A and B are shown apart, each in its own frame.
Chain A
Amino acid sequence: MRYLPLTDADRTAMLAAIGAPSIDALFADVPAAARHRGLLDLPLAMGELDVERRLGAMAAKNVSAGSVPFFLGGGAYRHHIPAAVDHLIQRGEFLTSYTPYQPELAQGTLQYLFEFQTQIALLTAMEVANASLYDGATACAEAVAMAGRVTRRNKAVLSGGLHPHYREVCETYAQFAGEELRAEDAAPGGGENLAALVDGETSCVVVQNPDFYGEIRDYSELAQICHRAGALLVVIVTEILSLGAIRPPGEMGADIVAAEGQSFGNALSFGGPYVGLFASREKFVRQMPGRLVGETLDADGKRGWVLTLSTREQHIRREKATSNICTNSGLCALAFTIHLALLGEAGLTRLARLNHATAVATAERLSGIPGVRLVTHSFFNEFTLRLPRAAAPVVDALAKRGVLGGIPVSRFYPGREELADLLLVAATETVTPEDIDRFALALREVLR
């Protein structure tokens, strides 16, 4: 087996050194009934070529996003990833290192995480950020839990504009943590009065910007109402690129920002791995979940980095930890950091503008089709259309015509009649004018 360096001669010599008569003797502590000397009913070892053929055949059965006009978003966005990103994250020193528990051997990881934390703080206009969580949805659940610790209250209000997966993850976590959630009904175009739901027992209000339907709103007033009631405002961002164009949550008075960072550096990859971003006010930092990297000095007085405030974490605090999280999304955070570093301020704002321009062009074109109505007023690179009939069969019909034309909202809310006609459409810089033409043509045909 190509990955196993021991030879049979090595094994014999080592067993002799150990004084064990056979390898079985080393498994003597396993109850005899559970010891398998034979092989399990699985295929035998394969060479690289065979494995590549088997998995290649599975991959070939899928319609990859880049092979067709593609307009899906809904919390996962297709962006062009500069070649340097994947080259750099595949350096073995990054790819095959562990969590930086020995800082003298991990200054590379620690420095990029410090840079990552700084990038997140700047993008969100928040004071501090952590070194990543699993994804945006779990970051959202962690934000609700943290708001509970900060306020010592356990009632959270969730906007109906929150991504349904995020809401569902919050609900799963909350039923075990003893949090009460009040989730507003899902509906595009707003109409919810979150301020009216805030009272003296509210730990936080969770809103998403742009929201699940693509709508951009100013939450400054809601932040003030929350703060007057002693509650926190949690702002969720599922398309982090939007912060290259729109006012950041920190400027609206957010106390905690939880976001999905996939858009920078990370492929769609059928939903994971992605990277959860988490930022807050500095005064709440000791209630934060996850790892934090801090600056310090070494024995020679030189600047360096270490994991810090570990007394919040499970490996020190055990059942009193702020979260049970251990492994996070280190390498995805690196991809994020490199992509955003390549963009820089100028590239980020231009890429955001390009996304917005493409989405505006797509929205104008599609909403010109008879019976199709744009229901999102202000948006970044994603918007919602109301079709003259149920969106799910339309999306399937579009796929048959070689267009991946958005996500039917009914995929998230089956059985909700009033949402059945809604289609969520995203258009990033990867969409060409020809793609828009083909989408518009196909949609016109399907709806005819």
Chain B
Amino acid sequence: MSEWSRALSAPAAPEAEVAQTISGNRGLQIEEPLLFEQDSPGHCGVDLPEPAPFRSRLGGLERKGPIGLPGLSEPQIVRHFTRLSQKNYAIDSGLYPLGSCTMKHNPRLNEKLARLPGFADLHPLQPEASVQGALELIDTLAHWLKTLTGMPAIALSPAAGAHGELCGIMTIRTALEARGDRRLRILVPESAHGTNPATAAACGYEIEAIPANSRGRVDLAALKAALGGDVAALMLTNPNTCGLFEDEILEIAAAVHAAGAFFYCDGANFNAIVGRVRPSELGIDALHLNLHKTFSTPHGGGGPGSGPVALAAELAPHAPLPWLAHGAEGFALVEHAQGPAGRSIGRLKGFHGQMGMFVRAVAYMMSHGADGLKQVAEDAVLNANYLRVRLEDALSLSFPGICMHEVLFDDRFLKDTGVTTLDFAKALIDEGFHPMTMYFPLVVHGALLIEPTETESKASLDQFVSVLRGLAERARVGDVAAFHAAPRLTPRRRLDETAAARKPVLRWRPAPARQEAAE
């Protein structure tokens, strides 16, 4: 054995010694202060000409005194944000199995096309004759989404999933009131995303939770008992947040419709069925799609998203503005609640919707085609089921049987180990993986919801399985301290969220000494 390989196999130095660098940096992990702590007053990363003398027309309302923004040059800025980026995990770095979040690969072609000047450098209020290609792109997106959902209409302006929910429920309430039917309640299963009840409340409804049955699906008897003449809608996620298809969905839809209510579906998990199952055939009246999930527009650290809503014929006249029309001179925008759009709920956001996301989604759908999209659903479901069978003897599977695109475990396998779901997730971080969704859905204890997506290879899944099995074994044999100490290898270890909330510090302020000196 050479000296070199002996060194490699030698035990690691104790943690504390590694941490003691002069700089506080740890190899590729470089400490980076805030922008505001790197101020060179007067400095600038952009060269701009000084305008020729002119007569100000600010009406005596000029800003007086400094704003307090720091001055830095371009190299300092580039280094700052590069270093920050290196403190992030991303789908580009590895498996990101957040359940119900659909963290799939983001193709770079889509980024390139969204930046074409013909899309990116286009003002939303240019004359329509100058934006026909943009309107054609929107029309193309609408066609694909209507075909994939089987629904007759699609509202494209909502900015994200929760905004789509708002659109759907507003549309439903308007349709009911058009019938002279003022209803008061919306039914939401216990396993729903928090946005569902929050949306229903924002639209003026009371929320009634519907329990899950022992199979992780909506309890049909409880649903039927809750339905009545004052129920406006059921908001159901399908596949649901337990990763299961609601196999009684036709009965659910029939019961909802028999009560005169509408059936809203949260389409956050559409990835499991895209190209294979059309929501229109499940009795759904309104369904939002997250383009930033199923259609791979990047999550960008929490947005921007896009949440188009597919609508049944009875809801379509109430769709938000603007509408896209096919006029004699090409495409036209209907921007006012007049004529055919007279029954619209109105406008939900500024301008026409998340165009940058539309371009990416169309590029994604065209790249896959009808065949590729069907394969997306199949591979997503296959990957999740593969994880299920490889893990069900090591972790505790919440509901037996096949799952859809995500698989739900709970914390029974950690019982009496002293390790919690949180500890288990944090240990996964040290192993180089982003944790799964924790403690959601609320219908099981200590939930661990894993969604691998179709863009993981079998090798990647196998590695993930071996790590999860290894960690479960470690928990079982009682290596509790290691779990409690995790993560140890990240730029920051566990952060004190309680302290952050108790005394919120939400912005940088100059140090008191500096402030006094300035006064």
CB within 8 Å of B: which of A26-49?
Answer: 26-31, 33-36, 39-48
**Closest Cβ of chain A: how far from B10's Cβ, in Å?**
25
A18/B389 in contact, CB under 8 A: yes
Interface-side segment among B219-227, B244-252, B309-317: B244-252
Q: Can you give 9 A-B contacts (C-beta < 8 A)?
A: A2-B367, A34-B282, A76-B351, A96-B91, A272-B351, A273-B306, A299-B496, A308-B501, A325-B162
Does A194 belong to the interface (CB within 8 Å)?
Answer: no
Give the distance in Å from the alpha carbon of A100 to the alpha carbon of B32 in the complex: 18
B350/A115 in contact, CB under 8 A: no
**Closest Cβ of chain A: how far from B390's Cβ, in Å?**
7
Smallest CB gap from B454: residue in A = A4
Does B418 belong to the interface (CB within 8 Å)?
Answer: no
Residues of the A chain whose Cβ atoms lie less than 8 Å from the Cβ of B109: 48, 51-52
Does B455 belong to the interface (CB within 8 Å)?
Answer: yes
CB within 8 Å of B: which of A239-275?
Answer: 243-248, 260, 267-275
Partner of A404 from the list B123, B305, B425 (CB cut-off 8 Å) is B123
B48/A344 in contact, CB under 8 A: no
CB within 8 Å of B: which of A283-298?
Answer: 285, 291-298
Residues of the A chain whose Cβ atoms lie less than 8 Å from the Cβ of B336: 414
Does B324 belong to the interface (CB within 8 Å)?
Answer: no
CB within 8 Å of A: which of B88-144?
Answer: 88-93, 96, 98, 101, 103, 105-107, 109, 111-127, 129-134, 136-137, 140, 144
Interface-side segment among B1-9, B195-203, B409-417, B474-482: B195-203
Encoded as 1 (CB less than 8 Å from any A CB) or 0, chain B from 492 to 519 comes to: 1111110111001111100000000000
Partner of A273 from the list B64, B136, B304 (CB cut-off 8 Å) is B304
Residues of the B chain whose Cβ atoms lie less than 8 Å from the Cβ of A329: 303-304
A344/B70 in contact, CB under 8 A: yes
A269/B390 in contact, CB under 8 A: no
Does B151 belong to the interface (CB within 8 Å)?
Answer: no
Smallest CB gap from B298: residue in A = A95
Residues of the B chain whose Cβ atoms lie less than 8 Å from the Cβ of A327: 160-162, 290, 292, 299, 302-305
**Closest Cβ of chain B: how far from A370's Cβ, in Å?**
22
A42/B370 in contact, CB under 8 A: yes
Residues of the B chain whose Cβ atoms lie less than 8 Å from the Cβ of A20: 385, 402
Given that A29-B244, A292-B504, A338-B81 are known contacts, is A66 also in contact with B495, CB under 8 Å in the complex? no
Partner of A321 from the list B66, B84, B194 (CB cut-off 8 Å) is B194
Does B178 belong to the interface (CB within 8 Å)?
Answer: no
Given that A84-B45, A115-B36, A137-B349 are known contacts, is A246 also in contact with B370, CB under 8 Å in the complex? no
Chain B CB within 10 Å — which of A99, A100, A178 has the most? Answer: A99
Given that A51-B113, A117-B507, A314-B162 are known contacts, is A216 also in contact with B32, CB under 8 Å in the complex? no
Partner of B402 from the list A29, A175, A350 (CB cut-off 8 Å) is A29
CB within 8 Å of B: which of A358-410?
Answer: 358, 360-361, 363, 377-380, 395-396, 399, 404, 407
CB within 8 Å of A: which of B347-406?
Answer: 347-357, 359, 362-363, 365-376, 378-379, 381-383, 385-386, 388-390, 402, 404
A309/B501 in contact, CB under 8 A: yes
Given that A65-B122, A334-B301 are known contacts, is A299 also in contact with B353, CB under 8 Å in the complex? no
A134/B91 in contact, CB under 8 A: no
Give the distance in Å from the alpha carbon of A14 to the alpha carbon of B458 in the complex: 8
Does A151 belong to the interface (CB within 8 Å)?
Answer: no
Encoded as 1 (CB less than 8 Å from any B CB) or 0, chain A from 107 to 140 comes to: 1110111110111011100011101101111100
Chain B CB within 10 Å — which of A63, A269, A299 has the most? Answer: A269
Residues of the B chain whose Cβ atoms lie less than 8 Å from the Cβ of A348: 67, 69
Interface-side segment among A67-75, A197-205, A225-233, A434-442: A67-75
Given that A10-B458, A341-B77 are known contacts, is A42 also in contact with B147, CB under 8 Å in the complex? yes
Partner of B302 from the list A46, A291, A346, A395 (CB cut-off 8 Å) is A291
Given that A56-B116, A285-B504, A346-B43 are known contacts, is A270 also in contact with B123, CB under 8 Å in the complex? yes
On chain A, which size bracket covers the interface? Answer: 35 or more
Does B11 belong to the interface (CB within 8 Å)?
Answer: no
Give the distance in Å from the alpha carbon of A128 to the alpha carbon of B506 in the complex: 7
Does A180 belong to the interface (CB within 8 Å)?
Answer: no
Does B261 belong to the interface (CB within 8 Å)?
Answer: no
B204/A378 in contact, CB under 8 A: no
Give the distance in Å from the alpha carbon of A293 to the alpha carbon of B359 in the complex: 31
Does B63 belong to the interface (CB within 8 Å)?
Answer: yes
Encoded as 1 (CB less than 8 Å from any B CB) or 0, chain A from 334 to 363 comes to: 100010111111111111011011101101
Closest 6 CB pairs of A and B: A378-B59, A59-B118, A271-B351, A331-B300, A61-B133, A92-B92
Residues of the A chain whose Cβ atoms lie less than 8 Å from the Cβ of B429: 102, 104-105
Does B165 belong to the interface (CB within 8 Å)?
Answer: yes
Does A168 belong to the interface (CB within 8 Å)?
Answer: yes
Residues of the B chain whose Cβ atoms lie less than 8 Å from the Cβ of A308: 497, 500-501, 504, 506
Does A15 belong to the interface (CB within 8 Å)?
Answer: yes
**Closest Cβ of chain B: how far from A236's Cβ, in Å?**
11
**Closest Cβ of chain A: how far from B491's Cβ, in Å?**
5
B299/A268 in contact, CB under 8 A: no
Does A177 belong to the interface (CB within 8 Å)?
Answer: yes
Does A88 belong to the interface (CB within 8 Å)?
Answer: yes
B122/A340 in contact, CB under 8 A: no
Give the distance in Å from the alpha carbon of A100 to the alpha carbon of B492 in the complex: 14
Smallest CB gap from A248: residue in B = B63
Does A324 belong to the interface (CB within 8 Å)?
Answer: yes
Does B56 belong to the interface (CB within 8 Å)?
Answer: yes
**Closest Cβ of chain B: how far from A256's Cβ, in Å?**
15
Given that A108-B86, A216-B58, A345-B41 are known contacts, is A62 also in contact with B201, CB under 8 Å in the complex? no
B56/A356 in contact, CB under 8 A: yes
Partner of A360 from the list B57, B136, B346, B493 (CB cut-off 8 Å) is B57
Partner of A326 from the list B62, B147, B195, B485 (CB cut-off 8 Å) is B195
Give the distance in Å from the alpha carbon of A385 to the alpha carbon of B508 in the complex: 42
CB within 8 Å of A: which of B25-43?
Answer: 32, 34-36, 41-43
A272/B86 in contact, CB under 8 A: no
**Closest Cβ of chain B: how far from A276's Cβ, in Å?**
9
Does B230 belong to the interface (CB within 8 Å)?
Answer: no
A114/B508 in contact, CB under 8 A: yes
Residues of the B chain whose Cβ atoms lie less than 8 Å from the Cβ of A61: 118, 132-133, 136
